[in-house]
């Protein structure tokens, strides 16, 4: 098997060879046809491993292709009950069920293995969650403070450039760290490869370009054209966890809420554009959302903010 999460030692002992073949084909489909990111593949792998381990224990033996095809509504409900018993949140349980459904859709379409029971299963109800962006002042404070935590000037410049891309261009952290040197903008726009290898063009503000150029000038490593733009202390492509840890320190220093994560800067980009009259369709393109519904959620953020301002302004004491 090609990818670690679905070929891990936790999964293999629980699969018969015919079921393992199905998993390999599904994995290949996710990676090559769906073009799922490594992050998505990891999440699918963890969720599906848990499902297979449950079935193996539930039925007392290796999971076969026939067993997968004949799982009943009761079996699937037992799986969800086991997830809840482990303390999994409703969102985590819903995601795991979505992974299982994805697998069953794949084997039905590609292998003709139908299981109607999975279609009858309803996932847990999820609370409606609205993105929690930073205020403009808080986002600006993060930009100004992030570099103060680094001991080396080049790392300070690197972290500042990354935050500039997240907030100034609305990038996901994985998109920013995937940028290679030959993708660094020389003009006013930049091509970004997003989820499922979908390409989009984003404008690059002068301040963002300046931050990148400052980092490049200070970086002690030779940054090759086909190599990563952002590197760690040993010269390899920077790990997202490093950025997340730095953001956590900034959050503590500035007294920001736990929701102030690197991804919150992308939410902030969208919300602040919208509050300044940005068009939803344009924001959708800038964010790389496949569906406008994913972008429309920011209108709820903006409305909630207006209501909060109104409430504070007219609240009676």
Give the bridge partners for 191, in sequence order.
Answer: 201
H or E segment and range at residue 191: strand 189-193
Assess contact for 256 and 125: CB atoms under 8 A.
Answer: no
Strands 189-193 and 199-203: antiparallel
DSSP-assigned states of every residue in 17-72: HHHHHHHHHHHHIIIIIS---HHHHHHHHHHHHHHHHHHHHHHTS-B-HHHHHT--
Closest to 231 (Cα-Cα) out of 160, 155, 172: 155
266 is catalytic: yes
User: How many Cβ atoms from other residues are within 10 Å of residue 121's Cβ?
Assistant: 16
Alpha helices, H only, the chain: 17-28, 38-59, 65-69, 73-85, 90-111, 136-145, 153-169, 173-177, 206-218, 240-254, 262-275, 280-287, 292-314
Torsion angle of the four alpha carbons 224, 156, 234, 210, in this order, in degrees rounded to the nearest 10: 0
- The residue annotated as part of the active site, out of 77, 195, 216, 237, is 195
Closest to 173 (Cα-Cα) out of 187, 159, 191, 188: 159
Give residue for tokens 């952290």.
173
Give the bridge partners for 63, in sequence order.
Answer: 15
- The residue annotated as part of the active site, out of 34, 83, 172, 267, is 172
Distances (CA, A) of 287 to 108, 138, 195, 208: 33, 21, 11, 17
58 is catalytic: no
- The residue annotated as part of the active site, out of 14, 83, 266, 267, is 266
- The residue annotated as part of the active site, out of 46, 101, 132, 263, is 263
- The residue annotated as part of the active site, out of 14, 34, 272, 289, is 289
Residues designated catalytic: 172, 195, 263, 266, 289, 298
């Amino acid at each position: 098997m090609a990818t670690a999460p679905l070929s891990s030692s936790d999964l293999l002992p629980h699969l018969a060879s015919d079921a393992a073949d199905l998993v390999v084909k599904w994995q290949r489909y996710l990676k090559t046809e769906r073009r799922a990111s490594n992050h998505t593949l990891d999440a699918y792998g963890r969720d599906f491993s848990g499902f297979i381990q449950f079935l193996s224990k539930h039925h007392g033996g290796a999971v076969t292709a026939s067993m997968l095809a004949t799982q009943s509504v009761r079996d699937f409900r037992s799986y969800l009950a086991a997830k809840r018993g482990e303390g999994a949140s409703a969102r985590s349980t819903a995601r795991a069920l979505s992974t299982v459904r994805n697998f069953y859709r794949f084997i039905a379409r590609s292998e003709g293995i139908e299981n109607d029971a999975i279609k009858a299963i309803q996932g847990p109800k999820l609370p409606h969650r609205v993105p929690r962006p930073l205020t403009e002042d808080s986002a600006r404070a993060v930009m100004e403070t992030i570099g103060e935590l680094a001991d080396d000037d080049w790392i300070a410049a690197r972290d500042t450039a990354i935050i500039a891309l997240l907030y100034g261009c609305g990038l996901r952290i994985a998109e920013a760290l995937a940028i290679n040197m030959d993708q660094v903008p020389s003009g006013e726009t930049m091509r970004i490869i997003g989820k499922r290898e979908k390409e989009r063009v984003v404008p690059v503000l002068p301040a963002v370009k300046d931050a990148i150029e400052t980092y490049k000038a200070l970086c002690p490593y030779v940054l090759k054209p086909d190599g990563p733009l952002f590197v760690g202390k040993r010269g390899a492509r920077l790990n997202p966890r490093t950025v997340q840890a730095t953001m956590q320190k900034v959050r503590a220093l500035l007294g920001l809420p736990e929701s102030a994560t690197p991804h919150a800067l992308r939410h902030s980009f969208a919300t602040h554009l919208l509050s300044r009259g940005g068009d939803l369709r344009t924001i959708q393109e800038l964010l790389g959302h496949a569906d406008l519904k994913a972008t429309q959620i920011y209108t709820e953020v903006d409305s909630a903010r207006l209501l909060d301002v109104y409430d504070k302004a007219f609240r009676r004491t």
